[in-house]
Structure 1
């Protein structure tokens, strides 16, 4: 279990310590923490206890994510997110994943950026809701004017669907992953709102304890 001692005072925890967006940001602009780049064939993931980026596993295949891959701070996929996904009772219990398209090749992870949410993929992995929000880098010279997934070339979404449907494949074994439902901006914002609610339902006590400690 987490406690307020898990908040690293010297290096902000990307999940708990960062804000999901600036107070004056437009409705669809969010802050994203990037775990992987489009060059990575090793699965990097946030170590939730320490807040540092760790090696989760080497990928078995040569495929790499077709976009920057990370998550939205202070989100959690639990009951509220699962309620938006038919035929499942649970979500994966992780922060809400985000894929960010950028025209310029960003070559390093463990960074934060601002991105405009344009849609998402309702991924079901082993019977758990595991949505992938799709976004574009704010101010991008090619994709910066995209506001909904309908404005994005279809091949971009198809590559994401292919990656997430195959990145866990092992020869001779079946993988129970569905990535059939692609949704637009408005539904993506509802998924984000549900993930924010799940976060505060499960981890709000940490922030309350930290505030009490600061005021003591």
Structure 2
């Protein structure tokens, strides 16, 4: 099956069954290819970290939040993306480092909004404006930053340079500290090596799509 046939197959299947948000939802909105579909796993009001169960597409509890760190934005994944060889090669080129590898997960996305959205397991339309280049123990773990489409406060932003520094610092602080255990010598091996704008965010997403197609499209859909 080619990509158009796969898209049509997923569309038909979606009318019959609940699609897996990772595999069964298009990356880009059907009506506007500049608008990203994002599946939200956790919200700023959650005291438990949820994540998608890859096999079923349902949310599962990953772990309770043991400490005071709370995600300062809607947080989830970009459908039909994956972090593997192409994502790692690009990051090694950008950082000058060797031995990096993709984290074998969908690409993560933080969605900024002024709305008090306290319900996860939802799809939102958003506009990517940039991202953080993050490494977690040698794994490539980029965090795309997006704004909720038509949001009253953030909706006008088109690039990371439009975003207030205080917001970016909150996001950065969360990702650098959420795995740390207080009063111990154990430090999480998480680092943010750079901040990038919209054009590079689109590049990261495109590489994630290519890694996904290499991993899943050829493996599964070629059998249909």
TM-score by length of 1: 0.90
Alpha-carbon distance in 1 for matches of 2:133, 2:115? 27
Query: 1:138-181 deviations in whole A, cap 9, x for unaligned?
Result: 01011111000000101111111100000001131121110131
Tell me whether 1:203 sits opposite 2:203 in the alignment: no
Quote the Cα distance in structure 2 between the aligned partners of 1:15 and 1:198: 14
Going by fraction, where is helix more abundant, 1 or 2? 2
Number of positions where the alignment pairs a residue of Structure 1 with one of Structure 2:
203
What SS does structure 1 have at the residue aligned with 2:19?
Answer: coil
- Is residue 56 from structure 1 mapped to residue 62 from structure 2 by the alignment? yes
Q: Which residue of 2 aligns with 1:20?
A: 27
- Correspondence 1:189 to 2:202: yes
Choose the corresponding residue for 2:74, options 68, 71, 76: 68
Which range moved further: 128-137 or 54-63?
A: 54-63
Match of 2:52 in 1: 46
**Gapped regions of structure 1 (runs ≥ 5):** 1-6
TM superposition shift of 1:120: 0.2
**Aligned Cα root-mean-square deviation (Å):** 1.5
After TM superposition, list the pairs within 5 Å mapping 1:1-216 onto structure 2: 10-27=17-34, 29-86=35-92, 87=97, 88-171=99-182, 172=184, 173-204=186-217, 205-209=219-223, 212=224
State the TM-score, normalized to the length of structure 2: 0.87
Partner Cα distance (1:174, 1:107) in 2: 30
What is the DSSP-based 3-state SS (H/G/I as helix, E as strand, rest coil) of the residue aligned with 1:186?
helix
CA distance in 2, matches of 1:155, 1:80: 32
- Displacement of 1:41: 2.3
Kindly provide the CA deviation profile for residues 89-132 of structure 1, in whole angstroms up to 9, marking residues without a partner as x: 20100000000001111110000010000000011001110000
With 14-23 and 47-56 compared, the bigger mean Cα shift is at 14-23
Moved more, 48-57 or 17-26: 17-26
Contact 2:29 2:125 in 1 (8 A): no
